């Protein structure tokens, strides 16, 4: 698997179909364990920055700005490989996640499972917070 860092994005961007609001969903997967960590959104600038820098950059829909994952928490996602689906309207980013992906302190954002008609928490906060960081 190649390292995804420092690539020009123009050819990749040309293959992408952004939605009406200029966004595309991006699934982050830990490259070695296969764990799906989170789903977030990118705009054109976020895709370009991710490929250029080798660090995952999303678009925050709530803050309406580029969201350099881990900028405040230290829980950065290093890009291993960016993949594009058949229709060009979804991304899969293989990453190396530092610490935890979820703002709740769990490794993955998908820590609740439907079991017996109820949602069960199947993963607890790991405590693997960045040094000096409070949860």
Q: Is 56 in the site for its own copies (CB under 8 A)?
A: no
Dihedral sign for Cα 21, 23, 27, 30, please.
negative
Single out the segment in contact with its own copies by CB under 8 A; choices: 28-36, 69-77, 127-135. 28-36
- Rule CB under 8 A: choose which of 22, 71, 103, 133 binds its own copies: 103
Among residues 65, 86, 92, 66, which one has the least CA distance to residue 1?
Answer: 92
- Rule CB under 8 A: choose which of 118, 131, 132, 134 binds its own copies: 118
Residues 6+ apart with CB under 8 A from 41: 23, 24, 25, 26, 58, 59, 61
- Rule CB under 8 A: choose which of 18, 35, 53, 73 binds its own copies: 35
Residues 6+ apart with CB under 8 A from 52: 6, 7, 8, 9
Question: Which residues would be at the binding site for its own copies (CB under 8 A)?
Answer: 2, 4, 7-12, 15, 25, 27, 29, 33-36, 38-39, 51, 81-87, 90, 92, 102-104, 106, 109-119, 122
């Amino acid at each position: 698997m190649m390292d995804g860092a420092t690539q020009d994005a123009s050819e990749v961007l040309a293959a992408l179909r952004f939605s009406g609001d200029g966004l595309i969903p991006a699934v982050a997967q830990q490259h070695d364990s296969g764990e799906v960590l989170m789903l977030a959104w990118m705009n054109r600038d976020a895709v370009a920055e991710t490929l250029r820098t080798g660090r995952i950059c999303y678009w925050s829909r709530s803050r309406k700005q580029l969201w350099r994952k881990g900028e405040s928490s230290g829980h950065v996602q290093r890009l291993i490989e960016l993949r594009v689906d058949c229709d060009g309207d979804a991304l899969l980013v293989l990453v190396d996640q530092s610490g935890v992906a979820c703002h709740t302190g769990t490794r993955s954002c998908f820590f609740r499972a439907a079991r017996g008609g109820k949602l069960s928490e199947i993963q607890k906060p790991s405590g693997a917070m960045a040094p000096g960081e409070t949860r």
